[in-house]
Amino acid sequence: MNKITIIIPCRNEEKFIKNCIDSVLKFEDLEKYDYEILLLDGMSKDNTRNIINQYINNRIKLIYNPGIIQSTALNIGIKQSKGDWIMRLDAHADYPKNYFKKLIETSLKTNADNVGGVVNTLPFNSSYQAQLVQALTTHKFGVGNSGFRVGMKEGEAYTVPYGFFKKEIFEKVGYFNERLVRAQDYEFNCRIKKYGGKVWINPDISINYYNQPDILKFLGKQFYKEAPYNAYMWHIAPYTFTARHAITGFFASGIILGRILSFFFPLIEYLFLSIIGLYFLLAIVSSIQQAIRYKRVLHIFTLPFLFFLYHFVHGLGILVGMIKLIFRISPIQKIKQ
C-alpha cells in the first residue's frame, strides 16, 4: 500500500482550521491508502492548537514549528513524513471531497513531480470590502496570466497552488528555501523544472481559498510581504524571474518618473497622460466585466481606482525590496546560510 503524508502549516488560523481538517477527513479514496496528517503550528497565539488537539489520533499529529514561517513548517513535515507522496495544504482553505482522488489520479497518469489545481477565490466574509478583494484577484487585469487563479488548460505549468509531490523530488532538488517567507512554493516549482522535472496543473482540481477581509489588509500584504519577496526570490534564485511578476515594478516606476518628468517635458506629459488614460480605460472595462460576473453594480465605480492602487502598491513593494537588496538590509541578507 502506498503511503500519503498530508502536511498543513498553520499559524493563528482558529477561524479556518476546523473547516480545513474536516474537509481533508472527507476526501474520497483516502482510506485506501496508509495516510498521516501532520499539522505544523507556527507558535499560534490564538485557539488554533486547542482546536487541532480535538482531532489528534494515531494518524493526525500536531508538530510545533519554532521557525514560524511556512518554509520551515514544510521542511520539518517533509523530513518527518513517512509518505511516498507529500500533499501540502493551506489551513486558510478548504477542499472538495474529490480533491485527493483527482490529485493522485493525475499524478499517476502524468508521472509529474508535482500536481496541483486551480484556486476558487472566495470572500473572507459577506462585507463589500471582502468582495472587492475577490474581484481584484480573479481577473486577468488584476493578477495577469496567473493560470491557477484565472483558469488555464490542463498541462505543464510554472507553478501550482500547494502541491502533491513525489517525495523523491525533495531528495533530488532539495527542500523549501527557508530564507523565503513568501514565494517559497513558486521558487520550489521553478527549481523542479530547472532540474528537468515536471509540474502539472489540472483545472478539474479546485480549492476554495478565503482572501483578506478588507482592502487595507490586502494592500498591506502586497506591500510588506508579497511584492518584496518577489524581489528577494529573484536575488536568491534568478531562474524564477518572469515579466509577469516584475510588471508592477515597472508600472510604479513609470508613474513616479513620468509624473516628475512631465513637469519639465511637454511631450512626456502627453505620453504620460495618454498611457494613464489607456490604463483606466482597460480598468473600467475590466470593472464592468467583474460587476456583471459578481452582480455588483458598485464595482464599476470602485474597482478602476482599486486596480490602480493594487498595481501601484505592489510595484512600490517590489521597488522597496530591490532597494533593500542594494543596501544589503533585506531580511534574506540577514540570515546566515
Give the tens place of pLDDT for each residue, 234-267: 999 999 998 888 999 999 999 999 999 998 899 9
Name the residue type at position 41: D
- Helix, strand, or coil here: 115? strand
Residue % of the chain over a pLDDT of 70 = 97
Residues 6+ apart with CB under 8 A from 269: 262, 263
Res 233: pLDDT: 96
Q: In the chain, where do the E strands start and end? A: 3-10, 34-41, 60-64, 85-88, 93-94, 114-122, 155-156, 164-166, 199-210
Count of residues for the chain? Answer: 337
| Residue range 11-48, pLDDT digits in tens | 999 999 999 999 999 999 999 999 999 999 999 999 99
Name the residue type at position 174: G
CA distance 29 to 179: 36
Give the containing element (helix H, strand E) for 12. none
C-alpha cell at 268: 512626456
Overall fold of domain 3-212: Spore Coat Polysaccharide Biosynthesis Protein SpsA; Chain A (3.90.550)
Contact between 284 and 278 (Cβ < 8 Å)? no
pLDDT band of residue 148 (cuts 50, 70, 90) is: low
* Average pLDDT over all residues of the chain: 93
Structural domain spans, the chain: 3-212, 236-334
CA distance 48 to 104: 29
pLDDT band of residue 144 (cuts 50, 70, 90) is: confident
pLDDT at 152 over 80: no
